[in-house]
Amino acid sequence: MDQTRRKLTVFGATALAVLLLDQLSKYWIRTTPELHSFTLIDGWLAFNFTKNPGMALGIHWADTWVISLVAIAATVIILVYVWKTMNPAGMAYMACMGLIVGGALGNITDRIFMARVGGYGGVLDGHVVDFIHFKLRIGDFDVFPYIFNVADMAISISIITLIIFYKKLMPEYVRKEQDDTPASGDTVPGDTAEAGAEAPVEKDHRAAGPDDDKDTAVADSDGKDSRTAGPDERDPETTPPDQKK
């Protein structure tokens, strides 16, 4: 199995696991009336069956079918992004993106089918099933007043993990583009060294002046031939009498 196929397997298996777990847990809550309001940990955690026509955290800014279309479009964009960043990505990154896509598909499934199942609308009119409720309160303040589901948990865990371990999990080419971009006015140390190594040595091309000619003449007189003169090269005036012919 090549690297690309392994990455797709990790991504697909993670997304499928989240989708199945999300839908099974929602079906279990919907079909079990005694769990519609059930305390797991007194004062902390409970099941509270609700149907959310809007987005996460109860945000409802448009009709349900519009929100459903936006959710589907966002999921398609995420899939395209995963495909384009798959080659430099690691397995952990693919698993995190599988959590996000699996969670998105879990909620989209509710939006497509739940209205038909509940008999209150058509396709894309479905309300998302939420049931996990943290009931912790500090005085009169609810620590987390929102009710969510397994799909929301998967998306949140993935996003938090990617933020905390950004440099280790995000695709290498994205990290390299951001880390290798020097700030304005900064000098990369390597550039300075290369500039110094490549700088040509300038030769002194000054025109020779009178003083330079004088120095040259002195140097030539000092550097005269110091060979021992042969018999034919000796000065007759300095040759001893007994050696004169």
The residues carrying an active-site annotation are 130, 152
23 contacts 102 by C-beta, under 8 angstroms: no
In degrees and rounded to multiples of 5, residue 141 shows phi and psi of -105, 125
- DSSP calls for 154-169: HHHHHHHHHHHTHHHH
Q: Is 134 helix (H, G, I), strand (E, B) or coil?
A: strand
Exposure b/e, 137-162, CB count within 10 A at least 16 = b: eeeeeeeeeebbbbbbbbbeebeebb
107 contacts 95 by C-beta, under 8 angstroms: no
111 contacts 71 by C-beta, under 8 angstroms: yes
In degrees and rounded to multiples of 5, residue 42 shows phi and psi of -55, 125
242: number of Cβ within 10 Å = 5
Closest CA to 106 of 39, 47, 56, 32: 56
134: number of Cβ within 10 Å = 16
